[in-house]
Amino acid sequence: MTILVDKKKKLFTLQTKNTTYQMKVGKFDHLYHIYYGKRIDHQDLSYLMYNGPSHYVPYPHEAKNRVGSLTLLSQEYPTVGTGDLGSVALDLENYDGTRVVDLKYKNIEVINGKYSLEKLPTFYANNGEAQTLKITLVDDLTGIEVELFYGVFGNNDVITRAARMSNLGKKPIKIHKMQSMSLDLIFGQYDLVHFHGRWGAERNYERLPLSHNVTSFGSNYGVSSSKENPGFLLVGKNTNETDGYCYGFNLVYSGNFRATAEQGALGQSRVTLGLGDDQFSWKLEPGELFESPEAVMSFSGYGMTNLSHNFHDVIRNNLCRSKYEKARRPVLVNNWEATEFDFTGKKLLQIAKAAKGIGADLFVMDDGWFGNRYDDNRALGDWFVNEKKLGCSLNELVKKINAMGLDFGMWFEPEMISEDSELYRHHPDWALNFPQRKALLDRNQLVLDLSREEVRDYLFERISAVLDSANVSYIKWDMNRPITDWYSKNLTKGRQGELQHRYILGLYELFGRVTRKYPDVLIEGCSAGGARFDLGMLSYEPQIWTSDNTDPINRLGIQYGTSFFYPVSAMGSHISDSPNQQNGRVTPFSTRAAVAMCGTFGYELDITKFSDEQKEQAKKYTKLYKKVQDMTCNGDYYRLASPFDRSNDLVAWQVVSKDKSESFLTVVVTNVVANASFVYVQLRGLEASDNYEVNGEIYSGAALMNAGLKLGRFKGDYPSQQIYIKEV
């Protein structure tokens, strides 16, 4: 039983394999949060709650003994105007201008299976994997009802959350903020781990002490962004990869978001996560519903690696409906860094031929195949094949590539429009733009108003027409600029604050249509590299281009940060040229291959220029990737040495198959020093009592994990080593 309801005590307990989450309805019918942490059976934990007096903080009028301030008590879903003076989850304006919603417990329902949301993607459950708890709260005066949903994935130690508001009153209200979740922890000292960045340097790991200041971060970019990722952790002061308690939170959403973390006056900790609230507002008419995106959380009492495994498993098994989530991903060759816009059909065929020669499965034609798109200043929106440039129809090109034994994929950037395009000349009003002002540009492009149905219809029709014209088995869905000019000609003055969210709802609606019509097409997400690497996107596309920065040494940090929430199977990672296109660094082929193998593998350079030696290397690494691919994509991932730990001269990670029968270790030396000691690595995740073969030698799992493996002494620039480990 994963959900326990004690109706008499009004005590609600969610049990997963290793964790317990408890809530209780209090004296004045508010819903309190009691506990989230290591599993505890058969215990009402409400004795933990603060029951001292309220010193100069407000308390409910009924609390005659001055006990019961919502600022001091841990809340399940704190709301505005109730005397909770921390960051609230819900802020709304009633018809009469009052800014208050006082939610009291109404009823509870346990539902077999996992809830879903009407217009937003959510995790799903396979047979019997999850249960749902729905708690309904109501403000009797206004008729505002909020349903809190909890999806309990017992075996994964994962709980999903969402909130749905109904306006059952007689007047419209305006929502200013509605978070998907809030979590109060009664006591404890924590660090906040978040993942910040920029183009070419996404998801940097940063660990800060949680303080009494509110730490607020999020995205105002219109995409989840490379500036901050929605996934973040609260970890105990001494927590590391293998020990200590930690919480992870993430959001199934691809647009603006807001996360807050703070300590209360008495040392309680609070985090909230949900829709971005800058410029956001939503008018809710009587009888209407508003649903928050889904949040997902997990607790580990055994360090951060374990926490990552919980997320990796639930993402791989319960998020993306694409058949490719489970299927082997193709090794691909993409022409972008090889040619950019300067290609012909003939050149593409040459690259495809070389791709076949190195054992790849898929050739991808990137940007530049449509309209008048000879550079990045024009033609976005004109999704008509440029047959003149290709020298043939798309179908003819694809047939030739298929005849080589390769699948074919292609690039789209559906959400964009260039001023210099036929689409813009016909529909200038389809672009987001403030009236009477010139729109902000980025890469000389504007953003289409995806909140409009006719815009989505056009895109669906165009994408379908192209896909129906040839045997296309993969799409790279790019999105290359932040959204800034938040004004839709389709919305009235009072509703412009809804646009950021309506854009994302429109995007998901379009993705839903495309994925339903083309279930056999693999979609890889991309957003100026990895600026939209989130669970919303991963609901439709099982893999995302991790970064435009393909330098393997920079990628160590990017892929390390990404790995806290997202599995290897989600990370697009390719071998590119040396010197690297973005930072000019020279690295060995072997290291570029080793790093690219920690993702969905491919090539991003002009492979027609490979020397014979490089061809042989490419063949060798493609073959090796295919050998370890099932393990890396579906196994357990271990971070052994961090690129953010400046005392390390190396970065190491390891993947272990679920049955622990094989493992794959990668070490990259980032700073080679003279007269160095040998490199020692303690492995993880093996079966202690089993024997494993490593480079022809036999070791026990216990020896490899406790004593460690002795590697060589490394020389040269950025050397690396990959080691395949097999149980014997």
Q: Which is nearer to ligand DGJ, 115 or 545 (CB)?
A: 545
Q: Do the Cβ atoms of 606 and 634 come closer than 8 Å?
A: no
In this structure, the number of other CB atoms found within 10 A of the CB of residue 48 comes to: 13
Beta-carbon-side half-sphere exposure of residue 184 (alpha carbons within 13 Å): 28
CB of 534 to ligand DGJ, least distance (A): 16
Q: Do the Cβ atoms of 669 and 718 come closer than 8 Å?
A: yes
| Cα 251 to Cα 180: distance, rounded to the nearest angstrom | 8
Indicate the burial class of 133 (C-beta count within 10 angstroms; 0-12, 13-18, 19 or more): buried
In this structure, the number of other CB atoms found within 10 A of the CB of residue 555 comes to: 27
> Whose structure tokens read 């009291």?
104
Residue type, 400: K
> Does the annotation flag 479 for ligand binding?
yes
Tokens representing 17 are: 């394999």
> Does the annotation flag 366 for ligand binding?
yes
Q: Do the Cβ atoms of 722 and 678 come closer than 8 Å?
A: no
Q: Which is nearer to ligand DGJ, 374 or 434 (CB)?
A: 374
> Does the annotation flag 478 for ligand binding?
yes
CB of 202 to ligand DGJ, least distance (A): 11
Q: Which is nearer to ligand DGJ, 259 or 571 (CB)?
A: 571
Tokens representing 711 are: 């590697």
Handedness of CA 570, 681, 555, 365 (dihedral sign): negative
Give phi and psi for 444, each to the nearest 5. 60, 30
| Cα 36 to Cα 242: distance, rounded to the nearest angstrom | 20
DSSP state of 495: G
CB of 462 to ligand DGJ, least distance (A): 18
Using omega within 30 degrees of 0 as the cis cutoff, is the peptide bond preceding 53 cis? no
CB of 417 to ligand DGJ, least distance (A): 14
Handedness of CA 486, 491, 496, 501 (dihedral sign): negative
- Integer angstrom CA distances of residue 325 from 250, 319, 543, 567: 20, 9, 8, 11
Q: In the beta sheet, which residues pair with residue 92? A: 175
> Does the annotation flag 486 for ligand binding?
no
Interface with ligand DGJ (CB under 6 A): 336, 366-367, 411, 478, 480, 526, 528-529, 545, 548
CB of 335 to ligand DGJ, least distance (A): 10
Indicate the burial class of 327 (C-beta count within 10 angstroms; 0-12, 13-18, 19 or more): exposed
Q: Which is nearer to ligand DGJ, 545 or 692 (CB)?
A: 545
CB of 554 to ligand DGJ, least distance (A): 15
Q: Do the Cβ atoms of 202 and 303 come closer than 8 Å?
A: no
Beta-carbon-side half-sphere exposure of residue 1 (alpha carbons within 13 Å): 8
- Integer angstrom CA distances of residue 233 from 20, 209, 372: 18, 12, 46
Q: Which of 548, 551, 577, 636 is an active site residue?
A: 548
Q: Which is nearer to ligand DGJ, 336 or 424 (CB)?
A: 336
Q: Do the Cβ atoms of 218 and 276 come closer than 8 Å?
A: yes
| Cα 616 to Cα 473: distance, rounded to the nearest angstrom | 27
Q: Cβ-closest residue to ligand DGJ? A: 367
> Does the annotation flag 367 for ligand binding?
yes
Q: In the beta sheet, which residues pair with residue 417? A: 446
> Does the annotation flag 443 for ligand binding?
yes
Q: Which is nearer to ligand DGJ, 552 or 719 (CB)?
A: 552
Q: Which of 84, 277, 449, 478 is an active site residue?
A: 478
| Cα 501 to Cα 253: distance, rounded to the nearest angstrom | 10
Q: Which is nearer to ligand DGJ, 35 or 336 (CB)?
A: 336
Beta-carbon-side half-sphere exposure of residue 91 (alpha carbons within 13 Å): 15
Helices marked H in 229-325: 303-318
Checking DSSP bridges between strand 636-641 and strand 362-365, what pairing results, if any? unpaired
CB of 57 to ligand DGJ, least distance (A): 50
Rg (C-alpha) for the chain, rounded Å, is: 26
Q: Which is nearer to ligand DGJ, 365 or 651 (CB)?
A: 365
CB of 529 to ligand DGJ, least distance (A): 5
CB of 477 to ligand DGJ, least distance (A): 10
| Cα 534 to Cα 225: distance, rounded to the nearest angstrom | 9
> Does the annotation flag 270 for ligand binding?
no
DSSP character string of 520-537: TSEEEE-BTTBTT-SHHH
> Does the annotation flag 715 for ligand binding?
no
> Whose structure tokens read 């990259």?
668
Give phi and psi for 272, each to the nearest 5. -130, 155
| Cα 272 to Cα 110: distance, rounded to the nearest angstrom | 24
Q: Which is nearer to ligand DGJ, 363 or 545 (CB)?
A: 545
CB of 337 to ligand DGJ, least distance (A): 8
| Cα 407 to Cα 573: distance, rounded to the nearest angstrom | 19
CB of 453 to ligand DGJ, least distance (A): 27
Is 548 among the residues known to form the active site?
yes
Q: What distance separates the 2 farthest-apart alpha carbons in the chain?
A: 85
> Does the annotation flag 407 for ligand binding?
no
Q: Do the Cβ atoms of 253 and 275 come closer than 8 Å?
A: yes
Annotated catalytic sites, by residue?
478, 548
Residue ranges for the known binding site are: 199, 366-367, 443, 476-480, 526, 548
Residue ranges for the known binding site for substrate are: 199, 366-367, 443, 476-480, 526, 548
